[in-house]
Amino acid sequence: MGILSVGAVLPLGALEVLSNGKTTPKFPVFFFGHGSPMNAIEQNKYIDGWKKSIQHLETPQAILCISAHWLTKGTKVTAMELPRTIHDFGGFPDELFAVEYPAKGDTALAHHIAEHLNLGDVGLDEEWGLDHGTWSVLKQIFPLANIPVLQLSIDYTLSHAEHLELGAKLEALRERGVLIVGSGNLVHNLRAIDWNNPESGYDWAIEVQENISKELKLKNFEFFKNIEQRGAAYKNAIPTPDHYWPALYSLAAMGKDEVSFFNEYYALGSLSMHSFKSAS
């Protein structure tokens, strides 16, 4: 058990140019259980929770989102001036495909992040854009799309421990006007969905989520490094790590901040909408 502090001790380097070299109030870190893409256009208790969670938030200079839907070999950051809205799903109403989230990017910030994370030029991406893991949440909480948005990809070749280490390096951004957002689901098994029970959770989903919430509160990083080895319930709850990884980035970027929870709901048996943020 322990707190990662990599982000707190790294030299800021190029990040000094953000906010004209000045620090800003330390922005909190969020992890949103994003659930169905339909949450982008619906009004429900999940959206109410998202909006309530940012009620007292100052306007950030930029948003950096780690979405479950951008997996790459090697870590990348979007570096285009005008990221496209990606409709990376199928079988939904035309209304959802018509959604656009026209937030600008920030090329200079992308270069600073790539340098800060030692990604090099190969880490700068000009093709991806904003996938629904990002815009389905941001459209609800920042509907004007007037804040620059960047995405950080998830390198599928890294271990859970390495994702935590990389996430810890993001902490320094929080004092340079950047809001860090993870977007996924802590319990996410689409093959086990129960359409007849839209607001319930299987026993194994509840067991895993309750254990995860407890360990999040304790900031027990060791618990999260080998999640697949914790038994059958965890294999059901996290059959693939894509929706789990964004939570590791959010947790690690919090540094020593305490964790608080919101949207502690289950959906369709095999999804948890549980979300969390740093206390500061």
Cβ-Cβ contacts under 8 Å for 158 (sequence gap 6 or more): 75, 166
Q: Which residue range forms the structural domain that includes residue 142?
A: 6-10+26-278
Q: Is residue 21 part of a domain?
A: no
Cβ-Cβ contacts under 8 Å for 5 (sequence gap 6 or more): 168, 255, 256
Q: How many residues does the chain have?
A: 280
Q: Average pLDDT per run of 10 along the chain, which is 280 residues long?
A: 34 47 81 98 98 96 98 98 97 98 98 97 97 98 98 98 98 96 98 96 98 97 94 97 98 97 98 93
Q: Is the C-alpha dihedral spanning 6, 250, 86, 106 positive or negative?
A: negative
> CB–CB of 60/142 below 8 Å?
no
Q: Is residue 37 part of a domain?
A: yes
Domain count of the fold of the chain:
1
Q: Is residue 117 part of a domain?
A: yes
Q: Is residue 222 part of a domain?
A: yes
At residue 32, the pLDDT reads 98
Q: Which of 97, 81, 90, 91 is nearest to 40 (CA)?
A: 97
Alpha-helix residue ranges (DSSP H) falling in 86-191: 94-97, 107-116, 132-141, 160-169
CATH code of 112's domain? 3.40.830.10
Residue environment code for 57-79, b if the CB has 16+ CB neighbours within 10 A, otherwise e: eeebbbbbbbbbbbeeeebbbbb
Supply φ then ψ for residue 67, to 5 degrees: -105, 145
At residue 2, the pLDDT reads 36
Q: Is residue 208 part of a domain?
A: yes
Q: Is residue 1 part of a domain?
A: no
Distance between CA atoms of 108 and 198, rounded to whole angstroms? Answer: 43
> CB–CB of 34/137 below 8 Å?
yes
Supply φ then ψ for residue 70, to 5 degrees: -130, 95
SS3 142: coil
